[in-house]
Amino acid sequence: MTPNEHARLAGQASQILRENDRGAYTVPTKGLYPFQWNWDSCLTALGFAAFDEDRAWREMETLFAHQWPDGMVPHIVFHQEDEGYFPGPDVWRTGRPVPTSGITQPAVAGFTARRIYERSKDKAANAARVRALVEKIDRWHAFLCSARDPRGEGLVAIIHPWESGRDNAIDWDEPFQRVPGEGIAPYRRRDVDHADPAHRPTKEQYDRYLWLLEHFRRHDWNNGVLHDLSPFRVVDPGFNAILIRSCTDLAALADELGAADIARANRARAEKGLAALERLWSERHGQYLCLDRTTDGLIDSPSVGGLIAVFAAIPEARAGAIGARIMEIAKRCRYVVPSHDPADSRFDAKRYWRGPAWLIVNYLVSDGLAAAGMDAVAETIRASSLQLIEKGGFAEYYDPLTGEPCGGGQFTWTAAMVLEFLRGGEARALAPV
């Protein structure tokens, strides 16, 4: 990539962040997702930090201003009314002063906070606001390690597929069969008004998503009981790896800011989680798998969730196996990393999380591989990501076989990840953004 190409892509990505900026938060894209999403915002903050550090911190501060009293950070904050999205606040009915959803998402905030602070040009100027954010992130981590791991096993479970961020992943098919789809209130989906229905979750899946939502609502969103009351309890290696990495990074950041108790607590959480993660390793697949906490057995579904595990400081041999697995998968598709193994008969190249490639996943996986010393595989992923942008623009996700853009367009976190890829990898030898 030439310096001019680098500057052009960076300019396009920055413009998308500005277009989707609502002052104190961003929307993922106009129309399809008109509110603030949890891990979207945290990853978007990395993009803002490339040209406006204050705006980056404000993005995360706005999200954490809506943290629940029990420490949970909801996956959606409904800052304004918009009938173009379903399910909206009238369905969730969580009773919050500013309406929010009643479930959470991957806890990537500890990682993003540390990375932005590390790059800060004036750490002293931001120390107080970052310290306040560190305390809130610590409360979120404590919530997850309690409410979603009530037996203290070291790994947390998701109680709704939306909590994983990988809504309709093949991983959920088997445990999702225990969730009824009948008896829910009539509804009209709005996502298919903005995106091709063939690229979205099915109606059958939506019926079950809504059954869980209504089930939790009947129990007043009491996180003290929802884990055990949910018929869907899955330990996702990707979700846990993100939490483990964020605990590790929050501990380092807390140490730098003089918050020794927070550092100690998060270091202990990370160590316990890493040890427990070994239970999810599949020698046959050469990657981690999800665990169904109801049956206590691994789910035979080789998805990208088991590859995201490399984002945490997993053992060197495991990281090497995941790197090799990605290069093997790369032989079966033109662009990496697909969200499911193309060799699996259930793979669907265009349907949301059942096959497509996502730049945010590519970023997490490549960052973990680079930290493990596997620069060649990491660079393969970075290069593939930028090729997808050149071919299909800043889409929500992409067909890994053809590069066709799918889902929403002008997507915020895709643009943010492009800025991150341009700041690392091949961009090291080029002019800064």
Q: What residues are annotated to the active site?
A: 167, 396
What is the rounded distance in angstroms from the CA atom of residue 98 to the CA atom of residue 378? 40
Pairing of strands 234-235, 76-77: unpaired
What torsion, rounded to 10 degrees, do the Cα atoms 429, 431, 432, 433 define? -120
| Coil, strand or helix at 163 | helix
| Coil, strand or helix at 54 | helix
Helix (H) or strand (E) holding 173: helix 173-176
Distances in Å between the Cα of 219 and the Cα atoms of 68, 121, 157 are 16, 47, 19
| Residues in Cβ contact with 277 at an 8 Å cutoff, skipping those fewer than 6 apart | 154, 155, 237, 240, 241, 244, 288, 309, 312, 314
Q: Crossing angle for the helix pair 109-119 and 237-256, nearest 10 degrees?
A: 40
Q: Which two tokens stand for residue 408?
A: 């929403």
Residue type, 98: V
